[in-house]
Amino acid sequence: MSKSMRCFCLKKARPKTKLELSTLLASETSFTVNEIEALLCTFKKLSSAIVDDDFLHKEEFHLALFNNGSKQNLFADRVFDMFDIKRDGVISFGEFVRSLSIFHPNTSEEKKIEFAFRLFDLTQSGYIEHHELKEMVLATLTESDVTVPDDVVEAIVDKTMTEVDSKGDGKIDNEEWRDYVTKNPSLLKIMTLPYLKDITLAFPSFILHSEVED
């Protein structure tokens, strides 16, 4: 290998500018460049709430999105894990935008269905089993400060499993999940946040300094 080639290989990639990063993320998500720049303003505030290092930590994530920074909850933890694409214990701005985009009104139903399935598949086995469904139902109720007797929760889970598990093997696969959600579209309501369609109005504290026009 020539000296010039070695130098080229060893040369570090130039960090992306804010505009380049915003343009890249806009091409990969349902957000516009201006909306991504607006999200960056809020991400910086969220990620500096406890540890000022340009990453969103679990406590900051809970505090910002669930208003329970000190409260342990399986649902909140699971959402954090889904946003933490690199599995390094923190959420970068790119991970935040790409994951949040799933909840955008313009994101395809197919992506929402797939994300929801992975959310309930706690062990990442490719199936949603009875105990996983029960854990998530309990966690969701706890997050909403709703108390329901265990036998009622069990009845809800049993009924759901019976309806979704069309193959009768005691677990829900991707195909069964997709068929069930297609027949019951209201289940995807939690996968859409209407205010993401107009971020600047939903979050008036955003200060936009856009470098381009959408």
Q: Are residues 35 and 66 in the same domain?
A: yes
Q: Within a domain: residue 114?
A: yes
Q: Are residues 156 and 121 in the same domain?
A: yes
pLDDT at res. 207: 35
Note the pTM of the prediction, 2 decimals: 0.78
Question: For residue 156, what is the domain's CATH number?
Answer: 1.10.238.10
Q: Are residues 114 and 82 in the same domain?
A: no
On whether the CB atoms of residues 166 and 176 are closer than 8 A, the answer is: yes
Query: Of 48, 82, 103, at which residue does a domain stop?
Result: 103
Q: Within a domain: residue 214?
A: no
Q: Where residue 2 falls among pLDDT bands split at 50, 70, 90?
A: low
pLDDT at res. 93: 95
Measured distance CA(180)–CA(4) in Å, rounded: 59
Measured distance CA(58)–CA(81) in Å, rounded: 9
Q: Where residue 8 falls among pLDDT bands split at 50, 70, 90?
A: very low
Q: Are residues 138 and 85 in the same domain?
A: no
Q: Within a domain: residue 18?
A: no
Q: Are residues 128 and 94 in the same domain?
A: no
Q: Where residue 212 falls among pLDDT bands split at 50, 70, 90?
A: very low
Q: Are residues 186 and 119 in the same domain?
A: yes
The tally of domains found in the chain comes to: 2
Show the domain range for 70.
24-103
Where are the extended beta strands (E) located within the chain?
128-129, 171-172
pLDDT at res. 13: 55
